[in-house]
Chains A and B, each alone.
Chain A
Amino acid sequence: QSALTQPASVSGSPGQSITISCTGTSSDVGTYNLVSWYQEHPGKAPKLIIYEVTNRPSGVSNRFSGSKSGNTASLTISGLQADDEADYYCCSYAGSRTVVFGGGTKLTVL
């Protein structure tokens, strides 16, 4: 059960859109539509922003959207804002009642 692969860092200017990829295998991302994404600000607990690949919890901005193709899931943030600067983690169900996280991506808003 290896960690999902995310880019270490991405950046964008306010108002722009960015996409963070999350690559797994046919044992996790490729088989299950059970990918979730978390936003983590320094010193804070992670916050759920996307679940079941595309769904947003109540209260999460519609600037956040998710998708999946094959073994790769993606998180897109549109209309970048300063407060979006954070670490982002993907997570996938991996069978046998276990989950696996991605290594995390640091988003810098220029």
Chain B
Amino acid sequence: QVQLQESGPGLVKPSETLSLTCAVSAYSISSTYYYWGWIRQPPGKGLEWIGSIYHSGSTDYSPSLKSRVTISIDTSKNHFSLKLSSVTAADTAVYYCASLYSTTWYLDYWGQGTLVTVSS
């Protein structure tokens, strides 16, 4: 089955750019069946949709984060990435990557999540 694994720095300074990568295994990221997404969860709070990318490179972002988010994909490495610029303490969260079934928009496979703390 599809496996996803997030990686990246666990600590980012305010005003800098958060960068994470999601490695996908046991499945081709070039599949036409899936979009690949990022979701975050601040400590003690609910899930928040960040955005998604298709194998073609087409992206869609949450309106509330759109100005600061970039999601990219590298099909040769079977991974996709998240960049969030100008971070503040409010961006401290567990960041998850997940697969979205393309026709019915459910997230069926999730990474384990990675905590990113924004602090100087």
Residues of A within 8 A of B (CB): 1, 3, 34, 36, 38, 45-48, 51-52, 57, 89, 91, 93, 96-104
Contacts and interface: CB of A to CB of B under 8 A. Distances in A.
20 contacts: A1-B64, A34-B104, A34-B106, A45-B96, A45-B113, A46-B47, A46-B96, A48-B107, A52-B104, A52-B106, A91-B47, A93-B104, A93-B105, A97-B35, A98-B49, A99-B49, A99-B100, A101-B46, A103-B46, A104-B46
A36 B106 contact: yes
A1 B110 CA distance: 23
Interface in B96-120: 96, 100-101, 104-108, 110-113
Nearest to B35: A97
A103 B24 CA distance: 28
B111 A3 contact: no
A51 B47 contact: no
Contacts of B39: 101
Interface of B: 35, 39, 45-49, 51-52, 60-64, 96, 100-101, 104-108, 110-113
A106 B105 CA distance: 24
A101 B45 CA distance: 12
A46 B110 contact: yes
- A34, A45, A93, A101 pick with most chain B CB within 10 angstroms: A45
B106 A98 contact: no
Nearest to A3: B46
A97 B52 contact: yes
- B60, B63, B106 pick with most chain A CB within 10 angstroms: B106
Given A34-B104, A34-B105, A91-B106, A98 B47 contact: no
A104 B46 CA distance: 6
A100 B39 CA distance: 10
Given A45-B96, A45-B112, A98-B62, A89 B104 contact: no
